Amino acid sequence: MKLRHLIEPTDFSITELEELFKLADLIIKNPLEYSFKCKGKILVTLFYEPSTRTRFSFEAAMLRLGGSVLGFSDPNSSSTTKGETLTDTIRIVSGYSDIVVIRHPVEGGPKAASLFSNVPIINAGDGGHQHPTQTLTDLYTIRAKFGRLDHLKIGICGDLKYGRTTHSLVNAMSRYPGNEFVFISPEELCMPENIKKALASDNKPGYHECRTIEEAISELDILYMTRIQRERFTDLNEYDRVKDSCILDTEKMKLAGENMIVLHPLPRVNEIHHDVDNDKRACYFLQAENGMYVRMALLMLLLDRTGSFYQNMASETAGFVISTEESEECTNPKCITKIEPPLKQRIKLYSDGRKICDYCGTHIESCCTYEE
C-alpha cells in the first residue's frame, strides 16, 4: 500500500482536510476518548533546526494519544556530525518507528526523506519552502472563527520572501473559492514571483501588494503577521534595514474591523506589540493551542492504514502533473539535491507548461524532455 505523507498542504484534498478538521473538533470536545488511540506507536522527531511550538506540539500530541516519542532537537547530537546523509538517517529511523516528523534547513529535505522512508513523513518546515502543519493549524483556526474557509480577505504581513508559513498559507487558501490576498511587506521581502504567477493564472484568487499595514487593515478579515527572520538573511545589513518595517500596535488595530482576527505562527520578536494581546481579535495563542489538536488528528489519520486517508486517496492533480527522475538540475542553490548525493532530480511538469522541482518547488525555466 502506498504511504501517505504530508510534505505540502496540497498533499491532502479539500475533502480530506475537512475530515481532519472534524476529527480535531471531536478531540477538543472529548480528549479522554482519544487518549489511547496511538498506544504502542512511536513518533520520531528529527529537528535539524530549532523549534519550540512545532516540536513540543507534536510530542504532546503523540503523548496525549498514548504513544511514545524519540528523536533529537539538535543535529549535533546525531550522526549528522559524522557525515551521515539525510537519506541514510531516514532509512535507519523509519525502521525504528511508525511515523517521522522532520524539520530541515534545506528546501526539499522532507520530500527527499519521504522517498526513502518505510513510514509516513510529516514536513515540520524545510528552509524557506513549506510548513504544512502550521498551515493546517492556520486553516483550522480560521474555520473555527468564521465557520468557513472561502470568500475571505487575507492580509499577509512581514517576511513574505523567506517565510515558509506564508507560502504554505497562500497555496492552501487559494484552493478555496472567493478568497483574496493582500501582501504587505517591504520591497526587499516581497512574495516570490512564482507564487504570484500561480495566483495570476486562471481560476485563482486575486491579490495586490502594499508596503504598510495601515493601507490594508480596514478591509481585511484576517491579518496574518510574521516576523522578519534574521536566520534567513545572508546579508545582515539588509536585515537591519527591514527588521522594523511591519509592526502591529493598538493604534493600527483601531483601523481594523471588529470581526477581523490577527494570526501569527510565532515566535514573535517585535512585530506585534504586547498590548495587542489583550484585544479579543488577537488569536495567535489560541492558534498555537489548536496546533496540538490538529497534529493529534493528523497523526491518527496517517497511522491508520485501514482508514479513509488510505482507502479513499484523492488525487486532485491527476492528469495535470507528470513527474520524471531524469532531467536538468534544479537552479535553487538551497535545494536538497545540492547536498544529498543519492538523489536524482525530479521535475513536475504541469499542464499549463510550468516545470517545478519536486523537492523544493523552484520553477525550472530551461527546456527538457519529459516522459510519461
* CATH code, 118: 3.40.50.1370
Question: Cα Rg for the chain, rounded, in angstroms?
Answer: 20
Residue 164 annotated in active site:
no
Is there a single domain that holds both residue 64 and residue 74?
Answer: yes
Q: What is the pLDDT of residue 316?
A: 46
Is there a single domain that holds both residue 14 and residue 93?
Answer: yes
Is there a single domain that holds both residue 74 and residue 139?
Answer: no
Strand partners, 210: 184
Question: Which of 64, 111, 131, 295 is an active site residue?
Answer: 131
Is there a single domain that holds both residue 302 and residue 339?
Answer: no
Q: Check pLDDT > 80 for residue 323.
A: no
3-state secondary structure (DSSP) of residue 67: coil
> 264 lies in a domain?
yes
| Enclosing domain of residue 47 | 9-131+289-311
> 3 lies in a domain?
no
Type of residue found at 129: H
Structurally, how many domains does the chain consist of?
3
> 2 lies in a domain?
no
* Residue range 48-71: mean pLDDT, rounded: 94
Is there a single domain that holds both residue 138 and residue 216?
Answer: yes
Question: Which of 4, 5, 45, 54 is an active site residue?
Answer: 54
Is there a single domain that holds both residue 86 and residue 113?
Answer: yes
Residue 273 annotated in active site:
no
Question: Which of 53, 175, 252, 363 is an active site residue?
Answer: 53
Is there a single domain that holds both residue 118 and residue 191?
Answer: no
Is there a single domain that holds both residue 342 and residue 232?
Answer: no
* Residue range 296-309: mean pLDDT, rounded: 94
Question: Which of 2, 29, 81, 82 is an active site residue?
Answer: 82
Is there a single domain that holds both residue 240 and residue 138?
Answer: yes
Q: Check pLDDT > 80 for residue 240.
A: no
Taking only the tens place, the pLDDT of each residue in 274-285 is: 999 999 999 999
Of 243-252, 275-284, 290-299, the one with minimum mean pLDDT is 243-252
Is there a single domain that holds both residue 100 and residue 147?
Answer: no
Closest CA to 290 of 154, 145, 138, 123: 138
Is there a single domain that holds both residue 277 and residue 148?
Answer: yes
* Residue range 121-127: mean pLDDT, rounded: 93
Cα atoms in the 13 Å half-sphere on the side-chain side of 213: 23
Question: Which of 4, 41, 55, 103 is an active site residue?
Answer: 103
> 1 lies in a domain?
no
Average pLDDT, the chain: 87
Residue 227 annotated in active site:
no
Measure CA 320 to chain center.
Answer: 22
Q: What is the pLDDT of residue 239?
A: 56
Phi, psi of 321, deg, nearest 5? -125, 135
Is there a single domain that holds both residue 121 and residue 158?
Answer: no
Q: Check pLDDT > 80 for residue 332.
A: yes
> 162 lies in a domain?
yes
The C-alpha atoms of residue 94 and residue 77 are separated, in whole angstroms, by 18
> 297 lies in a domain?
yes
Residue 331 annotated in active site:
no
Q: Is the pTM of this model over 0.85?
A: yes
Residue 103 annotated in active site:
yes
